[in-house]
Chain A
Amino acid sequence: MKARRDIKTILILVISIVFVGLIPLFIKGEYVLNMLFLLCLYTILSHSWNIMGGYCGQINLGQAAFFGIGALTTRYIWVAGYPFPVALIAGSFSSLILACLIGIPTLRLRAHYFAIGTLGVAMIALITIQNALPGVDFLPASLMSDYNPTIRFYTALIVAALTIFAVYCINNSRLGLAMKCIRDDEEAASATGINVVRYKIITLMLSTFFAGLAGGLFAYYYVSYYYYVPFELMWSFDPVLIVFIGGAGTVVGPLIGALCYVILKEIFAISMGQVNVLIFGVVFILIVLFLPKGLIGIKKR
C-alpha cells in the first residue's frame, strides 16, 4: 500500500518536472521563462523552509539571511572568475556555515522564541547589507556577453529537481523520522534516543544549504539588483506562505504552493500593485484556518 503511494509520488514529480522543462520549447519569450524560473526558485526556497518548518516543526523566519548570503557569495565568487557551479556550491556552504554560527545559540530557543530569534537575524543581516553595500550589483560586461536566460532557467530546473529528490530521500530516511518526531513532541523524541539539539542543527544546516542554492540561482539569473534585495524579508515570509498553501511536511506540497504563488502574485501584482501583500496575508489566514494541511490535504481528507 505504501510502496504504491511512493511510486505515484515519484511519477507525479517526474512528470511535472519534465513538463515544466518542455514549456520553453513550445512557448517562447522572456516573460514565460521568467515565470518558470521563479517557479523553480520558489520551489527550492520553499523546500528549504519545508525541511526545517514542515518536517522538523521549527519556524525559521531567518531564511532571507541565508538566501541573501548564498546570493552574495555566489555572485562574488562567480564574478571573480570561477566557474558558476563552484560559485553556487561555495554560496550554499556559506549559508550552511552561517547556519552553524546562528543555529547553535538560537536552537536552544523553543517554538515562538526561535521564530523571533531567527527573524532578528534576518533583520540584522538586511540592515547590515543596506549600510555596508548600498549600491547596485551589476554583472560585469565579460559575463554579460554570454548571458542566456534559457540556460539559466534549465540550471535552476536541474537544481530544483535535485532539491525535490533530496527532500524525497530525507522524507523516507531515519533522519526524516527524527525530524518528524521532534516536530510532534521534543520530550518524547529525546526519550526515544533522539538528541534533539543535534538533529535540529543538522536539519537547519540542510535547510540553509538549499536556501543558499536558491540565493545562488537568484544571483545567477538577475543581471543587476541592489545588494540588499536578496536579503529582503519577503524571502523569509514567501516560503512560509508557499509551504502552507501546498502542505507542510510533504514532498509535493511546496511544488503546488510555488505554482499557485507564482500565478497569484503575477495576477495580483499587476492589477493591484503593493496591495497584493494584503491579499496574501488574507490567503495565509484562510489557509491556516480552513486548510491546515494545505491544498494537498484536500485529497487526503
Chain B
Amino acid sequence: MCATNESGISFVWGIMRLLEGEGLFKSFGGLQVIQGISFSLDERETLGIIGPNGSGKTTLFNLISGYLKPDSGNIIFSGKNITGKGPSDICKAGIARTFQIVRPFVQLTALDNVAAGRSYGREPAKTLKEAQEEASELLRMVGLGNKEHIYAGDLTLLERKKLEIARALATRPKLLLLDEVFAGLNPVEVDEALRLISKIKSMGITMMVVEHVIKVILNISDRVVVISSGSKIFEGPPEDAIEDKKVCEAYLGEKYYA
C-alpha cells in the first residue's frame, strides 16, 4: 500500500504524502499538552484541526512550524525529517504559517510586509524590487491592491489577516498553516475570508487549518482531525465529525450528550 520511490518521497496510491507527524509528545513542565499525536497530510489536501480550547491545536502548529521542539516523535515534510529545525529553516523548506493573534510588521507598509516574505522564504527573490513587484500582485490577489503604501499598523483586523495570508503565500509555501484566521471576524467578514481561503485552495496549496467556526471547517476541509486534551479522538470526513459521540463529549461534556 505504501511505497517509497528513489527520491525518498513516499506515495500512497500514487498521491504524494506531504507531511507526516509520528507519535508527537510535548509537555510544559508537568503539563502534557500533546500526547502521542500522529497525523498525515497528502498534497493538495486541506486538513481541518478542531478541538476545545486548550486541547493543543496551537501547540501542534508550533511544533510543525519549528517554534517548539517536540519531546519525542518525528515530523517528516516532503520526505525530509524536519524535527527540531528552527522556524526560518522550516519556512524556507516550504511551510508557512499565520498567527492566531495577527503579527504583521506594523511599521512597514503592506507592500514591504509581503516583500519580506518574498525576499526570505522558499525560492527567494534576488532583489528588493523583484520582491516588491511580486508582493504587489499578491496584495491584489488577497484584495489589498489599494493598500500597498498603507502601514500595516493602520489596517483593520480583516485587512491584517489578509496581509498575513499574503505574507505567508509570498514565501511560496507547499503547505500553509492557518491558525484561527476567522477568529474575531463578523459574519460578513467570515464570508469574505472564506472566499479567499477557497481561492488559495483552488491554487493547489495544501492547507492545515485550525478553526473554531464549524461552518468554515465543513466548507473547506477535506478531512478533519479532532484533538482533545492532547490526543487525537477523531479523524475522518468533516460531516461525520459533528455526529461523532466522542467529539460531542469533548465539546459539551458527557452529561449533556445523552
Q: Residues of A with Cβ closer than 8 Å to B?
A: 1-2, 172-174, 177-178, 180-181, 183-185, 187-196, 249
Contacts and interface: CB of A to CB of B under 8 A. Distances in A.
A190 B191 CA distance: 30
B88 A195 contact: yes
A180 B108 contact: yes
Interface stretch (B16-24, B121-129, B224-232, B248-256): B121-129
B104 interface: yes
Interface string B122-143: 1011011001000000000000
B112 A177 contact: yes
Given A192-B121, A193-B117, A184 B167 contact: no
Which of A177, A185, A193: most chain B Cβ within 10 A?
A193
B119 A178 contact: yes
A2 B112 CA distance: 12
A190 B106 contact: no
Contacts of B97: 191
Contact of B128 (A173, A195, A249): A173
Nearest to B92: A193
Contacts of B115: 177
B11 interface: no
B80 interface: no
A190 B88 contact: yes
Contact of B86 (A180, A185, A192, A195): A195
B241 interface: no
Contact of A188 (B89, B92, B105): B105
B107 interface: yes
Contact of B116 (A1, A2, A194, A249): A194
A187 B97 CA distance: 11
Contacts of A189: 105, 116
A212 to B, nearest CB: 27
Nearest to A178: B120
A181 B103 contact: no
Given A177-B119, A184-B105, A184-B107, A191 B112 contact: no
B34 to A, nearest CB: 20
B108 A184 contact: yes
Given A177-B115, A188-B103, A191-B168, 17 more contacts: A174-B119, A177-B108, A177-B116, A177-B128, A177-B131, A181-B105, A185-B106, A188-B105, A189-B116, A192-B88, A192-B116, A192-B120, A193-B117, A193-B122, A193-B171, A194-B88, A195-B88
A185 B128 contact: no
B103 A190 contact: no
Interface residues on B, range: 20 to 34
B96 A191 contact: yes
B87 A190 contact: yes
Contact of B87 (A1, A172, A183, A191): A191
A188 B171 CA distance: 13
Interface in B65-92: 65, 67, 86-89, 91-92
B127 A174 contact: yes
A174 B171 contact: no
B112 to A, nearest CB: 6
A195 to B, nearest CB: 4
A1 B149 contact: yes
Contacts of A194: 88, 116, 120
A228 to B, nearest CB: 38
6 contacts: A178-B119, A184-B105, A184-B107, A190-B88, A192-B117, A249-B107
B99 A191 contact: yes
A203 to B, nearest CB: 15
Nearest to B93: A193
A190 B91 contact: yes
A187 B125 CA distance: 21
A163 B119 CA distance: 25
A177 B117 CA distance: 10
Which of A178, A180, A190: most chain B Cβ within 10 A?
A190
B91 A193 contact: yes
A193 B120 contact: yes
Contacts of B121: 192-193
A16 to B, nearest CB: 26
A56 to B, nearest CB: 12
Nearest to A184: B105
A173 B91 CA distance: 21
B84 to A, nearest CB: 15
Contacts of B108: 177, 180-181, 184
Closest 3 CB pairs of A and B: A193-B120, A184-B105, A193-B91
B67 A193 contact: no
Contacts of B167: 192
B210 to A, nearest CB: 15
A180 B124 CA distance: 17
